[in-house]
Amino acid sequence: CFFKSSLYIGHVNTTIDNVTCDRWDAHLSQSDPLTLKLPDISTSEAANYCRDPDEKGHPWCYVSNDPHHKTWEFCDVLFCRECYFANKSHEYNGYVTTPINGNCLAWTGTSFPDSSFPDGSVARAHNYCRDPDNRGYPHCPTSHGVLPCLIPKCNHSVCADDPNTLCEILKSVICGVKDMAQKLCPKTCGMC
């Protein structure tokens, strides 16, 4: 499953029509702008896995071996339901911006220090639900005061790692890059 399609690094390689994906390196050169937007180290590392380098909103892949006629299809990858661990709610760094009432406002209007956010700064927390003051649940500032967000607590069936994910590679390659680590590694719910 994926939380943000452009960051999906799973191993699904079939489309919604059950067509096997082509390899990315059969369609993209190293100088192609989309190559730089793949979450993988290279097109060969991306293999024929579904990705979303141009942010279509859902992982996809090429299905035509003709490089002059680039046909693509969306893949059969589910959107993950975001959740948080009650004892680690301060680590939640998902993309939910929905409190129980109203709309989340930007955290820049608060007095929390940058170190209170898993994003590394108040500005990067945008108006996402967070727990900078360790209340035990993600919340956000609203025009009605600070309100809890509509995010369920995690359980192992919701946040379990994808058995097809090579966690050691994820940790050594992706989690070493600070910006990527903040977006991807917490999504493993500490079990990777």
Instruction: Output the domain CATH number for residue 34.
Output: 2.40.20.10
Q: What percent of the chain has pLDDT over 90?
A: 44
Are the CB atoms for 135 and 168 separated by under 8 Å?
no
Residue bearing the bigger pLDDT, 30 or 154: 30
Evaluate whether residue 155 is within a structural domain: no
How many structural domains is the chain composed of?
3
Which token pair is 46? Answer: 């991306």
**Do 114 and 122 form a contact (C-beta atoms < 8 A)?**
yes
**Within a domain: 154:** no
Q: Grade residue 107 by pLDDT with cuts at 50, 70 and 90.
A: very high
> Is there a domain that residue 96 lies in?
yes
Question: What is the domain extent for residue 176?
Answer: 160-188
Query: Which comes out higher in pLDDT, residue 57 or 149?
Result: 149
In terms of domains, do 34 and 72 share one?
A: yes
Residue 188 or 8, more confident? 8
Same domain for 167 and 129, yes or no, is: no
Choose between 192 and 105: higher pLDDT: 105
Tokens of 26: 């059969």
Compute the C-alpha angle 20/160/127, nearest 5°: 95
pTM (2 decimals)? 0.47
